[in-house]
Amino acid sequence: MSWVLTSRDVSGLAVAAEERGFYVPSLDGIRALAALLVFFGHAKVGPFLPAGFGVTVFFFLSGYLITTLLRREHYLTGDISLKNFYLRRVYRILPPMYLVLVVLLGLRLAGVLSAPMRPEAVAAQFVHFTNYYLVWFGSDAAPVVPYTGAMWSLAVEEHFYLLFPLGLLLLFRTHSYARSAFVLALLCVAILVWRCTLVFGLEVDSNYIYHATDTRIDSLLFGCVMGLWMNPMLDREPAIGRAGWLATCGLALALLLATFVYRSDEFRDTIRYTMQGVALLPLFYCAIRFHDAPLFAWLSAWPLRALGLVSYTFYLVHEAALDVAGDHLGFPVGSFGRCVAGFALAVLLSVACYLLVERRFAALRRKLHGKPAAHAV
């Protein structure tokens, strides 16, 4: 078997990362920024806030963290426990998701919430097909449980991770970590070609491109690539110095800005996701590797870290919080008051869920199956 790391050649960063449980505070800050992008985009407080890019950042981060943990497990044990992987997903993802679904479903059935809803739509959500149901019925008219349309992104992740660990394990049997990263990069290119085929050849609409698993998993794969190649937690830093990384980050920011400025529908549905994935690679690398540098230290500020800690439930409840708070207090859509009230309610609900549900299931998982990784994914 070809190893990128050897027992004699593990970098000092990898040792330090293992000792601190792979915890880098800036990652919680990145989670918080992604959640805020989604929240303010849906709050409609400005003419242009890229809520969709917040989801892309979530995808990249999830792909990176899970691949890093699987790579570390494989390096230390020579194997990947599929059972442990899926148990981590079950304990982390399902309790808050089903809690939010059941509560909002109950409120709808009790007449507290009023919105069209169909049994088959609810069933699709419970079995993780929210994204394709939105594709079939349109993202604005799909009769799903009220305020749960954002769960489409969870469906994309669950579809991807159903097969990803097995595929990664098969890759590791014949490829080094770096070569496995190259294979995943080729898959990113293949998905770009698939999007172009759908848009230019089959004239598939934007709703499908945005929500479908087969057109969005490259946003996860770019994070997976960084988990295997030039991983800032595990691998040696390339000899380009901080000045070189600063210049690279400047180019990456310019590339990101270009994806927001250029507004062509065809561009948005095809190459934009690829450009954003490429741009996020150096930005994530530096935010993790140099998290204590002045340029990135603000990501570790306690308010961002605190929001990042509860960002999963915040993402699940933010739309309900915005509308419920706005309706009860009389704030119109897009108003500053609705935004503040909705944010406060979403944070309150998220903290409550974290304390009463997420931490309890994390403790149960530790009791039954051993110690989890520091960064929940």
pLDDT in tens, 136-149: 887 666 789 999 99
pLDDT value of residue 12: 36
% of the chain at pLDDT higher than 90: 70
Look over the chain and give the mean of its residue pLDDT values, rounded to a whole number.
Answer: 88
Model confidence band, residue 49 (pLDDT cutoffs 50, 70, 90): confident
% of the chain at pLDDT higher than 70: 90
Q: Are 284 and 252 in contact (CB under 8 A)?
A: no
Reply yes or no on whether the pLDDT at 18 is more than 50: no
Tens digits of residue pLDDT in 157-212 = 999 999 999 999 999 999 999 999 999 999 999 999 999 999 999 999 999 999 99
pLDDT value of residue 356: 95
pTM comes to 0.90
CA 31 to each of CA 37, 62, 315, 375: distance values in angstroms, whole numbers, following the listed order: 10, 10, 10, 11
Reply yes or no on whether the pLDDT at 302 is more than 70: yes
Tens digits of residue pLDDT in 218-277 = 999 999 999 999 999 988 888 787 788 889 999 999 999 999 999 899 999 999 999 999
- What length does the chain have? 377
- Nearest CA among 48, 21, 82, 65 for reference residue 259: 48
Cβ neighbours for 57, distance < 8 A, ≥ 6 positions apart: 30, 33, 34, 37, 280
- Nearest CA among 197, 221, 234, 214 for reference residue 278: 221
Model confidence band, residue 13 (pLDDT cutoffs 50, 70, 90): very low
Reply yes or no on whether the pLDDT at 345 is more than 80: yes
Distance CA 32, CA 326 (A): 22
